[in-house]
Copies of this chain bind each other. A is one copy, B any other.
Amino acid sequence: MGWITKQNILIVGLGLMGGGYARGLKRIGYHIMAIDTNAESIRYALENEIIDEGSAETNPQLIRKADVVVFAVYPHLIKPWIEQNQQYFKYGIRITDVTGVKSCIVYDVQSILREDVEFIAAHPMAGREVYGVQNSDDGIFHNANYIVTPTEKNTENAIQWCKDLGRLLGFRRVSVLTPEEHDDMIGFVSQLTHVIAVALMDCSDNTHLVDYTGDSFRDLTRIANINEKMWSELFLMNKQPLLEQMDNFINEMNTLKEMLEKDDKQGLCEKMILSTKRRALFNKK
């Protein structure tokens, strides 16, 4: 099964991410269908020609037409949705997702899936601090990473297909990691950073300082503006890797604190030289 634009793509969950997938893939020429419990999202997407067909209810007719299903819903909803609706799947379709955690989803879904259907997981590492299909924009993919996380159950064809999907959506970089590698990485670059931003915003009542803050504080707390339902779920689903990253970070903070207490200027300087050297690698990108 190659990329044939006559294929019907069903997007389950038409929010910021689902809307981005819909816009990008419809432009290429695919027939885009969507199911979302929010009738207003479906109405808006139809009116603005973001999708071709849509339903605010789980609609067996739409599901039966799908050659591809993309899950862009809250992570915990994927497995029950498949359990209830895979009876309607066309033979041999492919399923992918946009979930930000992988180990806790992929194996579970694959274990309950029909034998003829393949679930190949992916994480498009893009987002915005706004929600809903109304704010969706596939332009956010263009400077972002897309990661495919296959397991032993996946075929080479499906892995290749899923990588192609990332390229079609315009991602800057498409790569492959195991679910475990992905979750360790995301625990560090995404989840730990969000925990830090929340902790910095919450650690004291700093609202009287609003007039004194500069770019540093604003940059570090931008992501403290956070969707609590989504992120608390993602944190708990990636509990062990995130706890390890938090331990590493808290230990480092305590080391810096001890250096300050002991007037260890040389130690502090060495830490800053290391951070400057490491950060330089990230500047190049």
Residues of A within 8 A of B (CB): 125-126, 144-145, 147, 173, 175, 185, 188-190, 192-204, 206-207, 209-214, 216-229, 231-233, 235-236, 239, 242-243, 245-254, 256-257, 260-261, 263, 265, 268-276, 278-283, 285
Contacts and interface: CB of A to CB of B under 8 A. Distances in A.
A209 B185 contact: yes
- By DSSP majority rule, is chain A's interface helix, strand, loop, or mixed? helix
A221 B280 CA distance: 10
Given A214-B189, A232-B269, A203 B251 contact: yes
Given A245-B204, A275-B202, A197 B210 contact: no
Q: Which 7 A-B pairs have the closest CB atoms?
A: A228-B272, A203-B252, A201-B275, A224-B275, A199-B252, A228-B269, A232-B268
B235 A260 contact: yes
B268 A226 contact: no
A212 B200 contact: no
Contacts of A214: 125-126, 144-145, 189-190
A268 to B, nearest CB: 4
Given A145-B212, A188-B209, A189-B217, A198 B275 contact: yes
A125 B218 CA distance: 14
A199 B250 CA distance: 8
Contact of A198 (B126, B219, B256): B256
24 contacts: A125-B214, A189-B206, A190-B216, A190-B217, A192-B200, A193-B217, A193-B220, A197-B216, A198-B271, A201-B275, A201-B278, A202-B278, A203-B245, A203-B248, A203-B252, A211-B285, A213-B282, A218-B282, A219-B223, A221-B282, A222-B279, A232-B272, A243-B261, A246-B257
